[in-house]
Structure 1
Amino acid sequence: MPTARSLTHLLYLHGFRSSPQSAKARLLAQHMATQHPAVHCWCPQLPPSPREAMALLLQGSKDWPRASMAVVGSSLGGFYATNIAEQTGCKAVLLNPAVNPARDLEKYIGEQSCWQDPQEKFFFKPEFVQELRDLSCGALTQPERYLAIIAKGDELLDWRESLVRYAGAHIRLLPGSDHGLSDFALHVPAVMAFLGLPQANSDF
């Protein structure tokens, strides 16, 4: 694992049927722009294909310094973030992460629409399920470099699975909330603290 240095690069990964226009992505981008403008932030639109999504992320971050980068991922983005963290050794913040997306997303094969813009359509192909299986990681090599924010009120994913998957990680278990973490603003200070970013003059 690289020796940690002050954060210089931050990657945000949205969830299934989501986009960089999600409430959490925009809130985090605004916070970083006003509080930590020196940190390079990247929140790409992920292609429906998991294999293509990972290729995009690894290519886009290949020149980033491993010791001073981090990744934040929501739902399916949390699954991808785990893969990135295991490959690079960086810190990862997971927001209601998907533990077994190959199983959970199989029922969504077919045409789908984006939550933020229902007019934006994409097709989730059957082969994408196998691509998700291929991306599954084993046990976490360094669980202490993960922060998982898990809501018991998640209406889509079983929070108990996340607790088991991320055993040994830093866990922030919420008694309520929801899958989208509509109260994400309340947890931004904890995210920043985990990433080693100061909270002076915080807007939260």
Structure 2
Amino acid sequence: MLLYIHGFNSSNRSEKAVQTAQYIQRNYPDLSFYQPQLPSDVDEAMALLTQITEKALADNQPLRFIGSSLGGYFSSYLAEKYGGKAVLVNPAVNPYDLFEEFLGPQYNPYTDEHYQVLPKDRNAVAQYDTHVIYHPDRFLVLLQTGDEVLDYRLALQKYHCCELYIEPNGDHSFVGYEQQLDKICRFLQLP
């Protein structure tokens, strides 16, 4: 099983999500691949991700995750809790510390959804934090130093013991992501 997890105010139709889906379809057509549109509510999003993960576990499928930004944060939690391997792309490290700037009305341009980020959402996100990475061998972390949304040095500090791939410049979307898909799939040990 491979679960692609998009970031905050993003979508399963984002460029990285679509590139990943197309690559998997071309190269691993028999792989159980999930790319859900996450609900804007944090607990509902994690409930959906947990349901997919637990079903794969029940079916004795190896667990694999690709997470971008907030999806990387969620992927860390799932890989630490359930096992499996995870590739994190410009992952959020402490997203709850950024909540003040996102409080209030939000708009997701991919889904055309209008919703509110409330103070309670900060605590909801914080409960999925992996303060310590106990299984560094489970993670490949892709970072670009030009990320304009998240400070890549926070991820470098948190995931220093994991396999890291750091490129200069770039941006939060991870410029050239599609060229990393071979490396990603090798790390995930796709069949």
Q: Which residue of 1 aligns with 2:94?
A: 100
Q: Over residues 82-111 of structure 1, what are the superposed CA-to-partner deviations in whole Å (9 max), with x where a residue is unaligned?
A: 000011111000000000100113311111
Partner in structure 1 of residue 50 of structure 2:
58
Q: Deviations along 1:156-184, whole A, 9 cap, x unmatched?
A: 11111100110111100011111011311
The answer for the alignment partner of 1:28 in structure 2 is 20
Q: Is the Cα contact below 8 Å between 1:75 and 1:97 reproduced in 2?
A: yes
RMSD of aligned alpha carbons? 1.4
User: What SS does the aligned partner of 1:192 have?
Assistant: helix
Which structure features the higher share of helix residues? Answer: 2
Question: So what's the TM-score if we normalise by structure 2?
Answer: 0.94
Q: Distance in 2 between matches of 1:168 and 1:112?
A: 35
SS in 2 for 1:135: coil
Q: 8 Å contact 1:67–1:90 — kept in the other structure?
A: no
Aligned length: 189
Q: How does 1:7-26 map to 2 (within 5 A)?
A: 9-26=1-18
Supply the distance in 2 between the matched residues of 1:168 and 1:11 (Cα, whole angstroms).
23
| 1:67 CA displacement | 6.0
In the alignment, the residues of structure 1 paired with residue 184 and residue 48 of structure 2 have an alpha-carbon distance, to the nearest angstrom, of 25
Determine which of 167, 175, 186 is the counterpart of 1:193.
Answer: 186
Deviating above 6 A after TM superposition, structure 1's stretches of 4 or more consecutive aligned residues are: none
Unaligned runs of 5+ in 2: none
Give TM-score, length-normalised by structure 1: 0.88
Identity of aligned residues (%): 35
Structure 1 segment 41-120 matched on structure 2, within 5 A: 41-65=33-57, 68-117=62-111, 119-120=112-113
